[in-house]
Structure formats: C-alpha cells, structure tokens
Amino acid sequence: MAITFYYGSGSPFAWKVWLVLEHKGLTYDFKRLQFDKTELKSDAFLAINPRGKVPALVDGDLALYESAAIVEYLEERYPEPTILGTDLETRARTRRIAVEAEAYLQPLQRELFTHTLFKSASDARDLEAIARCHNALLAELAHFERALGEGRYFGGLTPSLADFAVFPVLRGVRRVDDREPANGLGDAMPAWVRAYLARMESLAMVQKTWPPHWR
Ligand SMILES: N[C@@H](CCC(=O)N[C@@H](CS)C(=O)NCC(=O)O)C(=O)O
C-alpha cells in the first residue's frame, strides 16, 4: 500500500504526523498544500478531508484526517518502531502529554501567532493581549517542565509521540522570538525550553521535516 501525506508548512499538527512518518521509517508521497491558495478547499482534497485542513493521510483505501487519529492509526498499522513506548504506563503517559500539547499549549501558541505573525508588518500590535499570551504560556510551560523532569525527551531517553506533539508547538512559540523579537518571550523563555529545543533540533528527523517556508 502506498501512503500519501498531505502537509501544510508551519502547521504543528502536520509537523507531528511528519515526524511520526519519519520515526517509523515509512515511505510516503509528500504533498505540500499551500494555505494561501485554494488547494485545501479543492474538491479533490475535500474528498479526503471534508474540513479542508491539513494534515491528512491516504493509505491504500483509507483516507484519514485529524492528526491524533492519524498517528494512532500509524502506530497500530506500523507498530515498529513504536512512538508510544513499550509498557502500559509509559504509553498512557506519552498519550497524555500529546493530548496536553494539543489541548492546552497549542491554543496559546496560536493566540500568540494571531497577535503577531498572523498580522501584517504594518498592523498595530496589541501589547496587552501579547503580554496575556506570554503569562498564560509561561504558566502552561510549568506543566510541561514537570512532565519533562530530568528526562532528555518527554518519553524518556528516546523521542516519542509526546515530543512529536510538543516540539512543533514550542518551536512555534520560539519562532515569534525569531521573527518579532520585541513580541516573543525573549529572556522569559525558560532555560529548559531552550535546551530541549536545541536537543530536538539536533535530530536528523527534525532537520529533515523543518517547515519548508521557515528555511
Ligand atoms: N485538529 C486538527 C487541526 C488541523 C488544523 O487546524 N490544520 C490547520 C493548519 S494548523 C489548517 O489546515 N487550516 C487551514 C484551514 O482551516 O483552512 C488536527 O489535529 O489535524
């Protein structure tokens, strides 16, 4: 069966799926869809994902969307190497962190983007809203610091789904520092986040899957 992966550059959900495909060493056709064109809402793509969003994946007769469902499918269909860990407790914890990334961290990253990178350069910045985002992010990051503990990765010694879910979101937060230094977390960015991002960025799979429009 041939896998086709529908991707959008900069989407943390799509980056997560891409990392899982790479971690598992799967072969796939890579289709990058452009957000600013009509490709996501074309009849051909809506037949795959009626919501017109990336990521989506076609594997043989199965067309699937929603990144959480896609990565669970890939884990069941292609179990080795695992993205969840081997024992029940580790698998549950890995899933929990991945859900937390999507439920709590990503909405804050998106809100920060809404007030910064999603605006045009000439639009005024709402500095109070940005400060609120920063405070909420820092409070949320404390949960992730606890989850990481002394570990190299959220899953322990090797990267897992928890990392594939958390890293793209954290790197998005960091991108605001890169693009709009005045509106990023700057010196408030916790040291553990900097170290964790550097660790993840040194992985070949992360380099390979770096969002093309960020290069
Ligand atoms: N819950 C979905 C979220 C997917 C999503 O929101 N994708 C965004 C990019 S981050 C998208 O394709 N937006 C295009 C649009 O809504 O038109 C998932 O996990 O796959």
DSSP string across 145-198: HHHHTT-SBTTBSS--HHHHHHHHHHHHHHHHHHH-GGGS-GGGS-HHHHHHHH
| pLDDT score for 37 | 74
The position carrying tokens 């943390």 is 12
- Between the CA of 15 and the centroid of ligand 1 the distance, in Å, is 11
| pLDDT score for 1 | 67
Task: Determine the Cα–Cα distance for residues 58 and 63; give it in Å rounded to an integer.
Answer: 4
191: number of Cβ within 10 Å = 8
Q: Which atom of ligand 1 is nearest to the CA of 10?
A: 10
Q: Which atom of ligand 1 is nearest to the CA of 51?
A: 16
pLDDT surpassing 90 at residue 44: yes
- Between the CA of 53 and the centroid of ligand 1 the distance, in Å, is 4
- Between the CA of 190 and the centroid of ligand 1 the distance, in Å, is 28
Tokens describing residue 123: 């639009």
Task: Determine the Cα–Cα distance for residues 73 and 53; give it in Å rounded to an integer.
Answer: 18
For the chain, give the mean pLDDT.
97
Tell me, using a 6 A CB cutoff, whether residue 85 lines ligand 1: no
Domain positions in the chain are 3-77, 88-209
* Residue with CA closest to ligand 1 atom 10: 11
Q: Which fold has domain 3-77?
A: Glutaredoxin (3.40.30)
Residue 104's alpha-carbon distances to 29, 161, 177, 214, in angstroms, are 31, 16, 20, 24
3-state secondary structure of 202: coil
Residue among 20, 53, 67, 164 whose CB has most ligand 1 atoms within 8 A, to mutate = 53
Q: What is the pLDDT of residues 167-200, one digit of tens each?
A: 999 999 999 999 999 999 999 999 999 999 999 9
pLDDT surpassing 70 at residue 128: yes
The CATH architecture to which 88-209 belongs is Up-down Bundle (1.20)
**Residues forming beta bridges with residue 57, ordered by sequence position:** 5, 64
- Between the CA of 85 and the centroid of ligand 1 the distance, in Å, is 27
Q: Which atom of ligand 1 is nearest to the CA of 12?
A: 10
The arithmetic mean of pLDDT across residues 78-82, rounded, is 98
| pLDDT score for 165 | 98
